[in-house]
Chain A
Amino acid sequence: MKRFILPLTIFLILTVFLGVGLHLNPHEIPSPFIGKSAPQFHLSQLGDTGKSVAPENLRGKVWLLNVWASWCGSCREEHPVLMEFSRRQIVPLVGLDYKDTRMDALGQLGQEGDPYVVSAFDADGRVGIDYGVYGVPETFVIDKAGVIRYKHVGPVTSEVIEQKLLPLIRELNRV
Chain B
Amino acid sequence: MYKILLCASLLLHCALLMAATARPLAADPLLEKRMLVLTEELRCLVCQNQTLADSHADLAIDLKNQVREKLALGMSDQEVIDYMVQRYGDFVLYRPRLFAATWLLWFGPLLLLVAGLATLGWKLSRPKKPEELSQQDRLRAAQMLYANRSVAEKKL
**Alpha-carbon gap, A134 to B89, bound state (A):** 12
- Asked if B148 lies at the interface with its beta carbon under 8 angstroms from chain A, I say no
Cα of A135 to Cα of B46 in the assembled complex, Å? 7
The secondary-structure label for the interface of chain A is: loop
In the complex, which of the residues B45, B46, B63 has the most CB atoms of chain A within 10 Å of its own CB atom? B45
A152 close to chain B: CB less than 8 A = no
Q: Which residues of B contact A27 (CB under 8 A)?
A: 48
A21 interface hit (Cβ, 8 Å):
no
Question: In the complex, which range does the number of interface residues on chain A fall in?
Answer: 10 to 19
Chain A nearest CB: distance from B7 CB in Å? Answer: 32
Contacts of A24 in B (CB 8 A): none
Chain A residues 60-102 with CB under 8 Å of chain B are 99
The reply to whether the CB of B88 lies closer than 8 angstroms to some CB of chain A is yes
Question: Which B residues lie at the A interface, using CB under 8 A?
Answer: 45-46, 48, 58-59, 62-63, 66, 85-91
Partner of B63, one of A26, A32, A129, A135: A129
Question: Are B88 and A32 neighbours in the complex by a CB distance under 8 Å?
Answer: yes
Are A134 and B62 in touch, CB under 8 angstroms?
no
> Please, how many angstroms separate the alpha-carbon atoms of A26 and B90 in the complex?
14
Is B89's CB under 8 angstroms from A125's CB? no
Q: Which A residues touch B89, using CB under 8 A? A: 29-32, 132
Query: Secondary structure at chain B's binding surface: helix, strand, loop or mixed?
Result: helix
- Name B58's closest neighbour in chain A (CB-CB): A99
> Beyond A29-B88, A30-B89, A32-B86, is A129–B62 a contact (Cβ under 8 Å)?
yes
Complex contact B91–A29 (CB within 8 A): yes
Q: How many angstroms from the CA of A99 to the CA of B86 in the assembled complex?
A: 21
Contacts of A130 in B (CB 8 A): 87
Tell whether, in the assembled complex, residue A29 and residue B45 are in contact, meaning their CB atoms are under 8 Å apart: yes
Q: How far is the CB of A130 from chain B (nearest CB, A)?
A: 7
One of A26, A31, A124 near B48 (C-beta < 8 A)? A26
Give Cα distance in the complex from A137 to B117, angstroms.
50
A26 vs B46: C-alpha distance when bound (angstroms): 11
**Extra A-B contacts (10), CB below 8 Å, given A29-B91, A125-B59, A125-B62:** A26-B48, A30-B91, A99-B58, A124-B62, A130-B87, A132-B87, A134-B45, A134-B46, A134-B59, A135-B45
Nearest A residue to B87, CB-CB: A132
Does A129 contact B91, Cβ atoms closer than 8 Å?
no
- Which 9 A-B pairs rank lowest in CB-CB distance, beginning with the nearest? A134-B45, A132-B87, A32-B89, A29-B91, A132-B88, A125-B62, A30-B89, A134-B59, A129-B66
Complex Cα gap A135–B63 (Å) = 14
When C-beta atoms are compared, the residue in chain A nearest to B92 turns out to be A29
CA distance A30 to B86 in the complex (A): 12
